[in-house]
Structure 1
Amino acid sequence: MVEYTDEPTATRIVTPETPNESIMFPSMAVYVHSHEPGERAELHTHAEHHVLVMRSGRMRWTVDGQTIDAAAGTVIVAPAGTDHGFEVLGGETVKLLCIESPNPERPTASLLEGSPESRPA
């Protein structure tokens, strides 16, 4: 199904306060993140699926009980509801591409409007 709209289909967000950028689509969000040496995130979950692509630096990821030492080129997948966390290894700033679906900035219900699943039988 193709849906046309006068609304913007993507929004690019770049702020001077942060080195991170993001592009927001109706069904997904794409971020470029920087993480500093020693930075870590304890195990946590999200309602969205995450695909993480290491661009530079080294990190140790724990996803669903498995630990992965990741460097540039490594792809990490954390399905929605899966425990995951990380720590930055070494002295280099990490650059990371993060893709989230559905877009956490847009209500899931609006993504289904007009889809076959949302139509009465």
Structure 2
Amino acid sequence: MYLHKNIKDVETMAQSAGKGVGMKMLLSPDESPNFAMRNFTIEAGGFMPLHTNSVEHEQFVISGKALVTIGDEKFEASSGDVLLIPAGVAHAYETLGDETYSFLCLVPKAEDTITVLSC
């Protein structure tokens, strides 16, 4: 199957968890046989709360900076960074600076149960 689209043509869906979080479903599970590809944005001053997912995440940071928590580790992530978040490991994001934090997030095509641990 072949598919071509531009990120500018994909609608941003506001996310209820956190503050200033949006998501574009670039490749939905219905469009791709093995993975879904999403683009998350977190506005300056925004955050995504500590949560777990039942599937792993592969992420590539496009722009901005954020304080990222994965398990017991905290670090600054910025453009060009690659992150692997194993299934079931708690993680959170808090933007740093005045730029929107934007990242691609790929997840396997499987049921994803999300549990918010703190707001």
Q: TM > 0.5 between the two?
A: yes
Rounded to whole Å, the distance in 2 between the matches of 1:95 and 1:37 is 11
> Greater helix share, 1 or 2?
1
Offset at residue 9 of structure 1 (A)? 7.5
Verify: 1:76 aligned to 2:72, yes or no. Answer: no
Offset at residue 94 of structure 1 (A)? 1.6
Is 1:11–1:23's contact at 8 Å kept on the other side of the alignment? no
Which secondary structure state, in structure 2, belongs to the residue aligned with residue 80 of structure 1? coil
TM-score, normalisation: structure 1 = 0.68
Rounded to whole Å, the distance in 2 between the matches of 1:56 and 1:16 is 17
The match for 1:15 is 11
- Runs of at least 5 residues in structure 1 that lack an aligned partner in the other structure: 1-7, 106-121
> Greater strand share, 1 or 2?
2
Is 1:53–1:96's contact at 8 Å kept on the other side of the alignment? yes
Rounded to whole Å, the distance in 2 between the matches of 1:82 and 1:55 is 23
The match for 1:57 is 64
Rounded to whole Å, the distance in 2 between the matches of 1:17 and 1:62 is 23
Q: Which runs of 4+ in 1 moved over 4 A?
A: 8-13, 16-19
- Runs of at least 5 residues in structure 2 that lack an aligned partner in the other structure: 15-22, 113-119
Rounded to whole Å, the distance in 2 between the matches of 1:88 and 1:32 is 16
Aligned residues: 98
**Larger Cα-atom Rg:** 1
Rounded to whole Å, the distance in 2 between the matches of 1:9 and 1:27 is 14
Give the fraction of aligned pairs with identical amino acids, expressed as a percent: 27
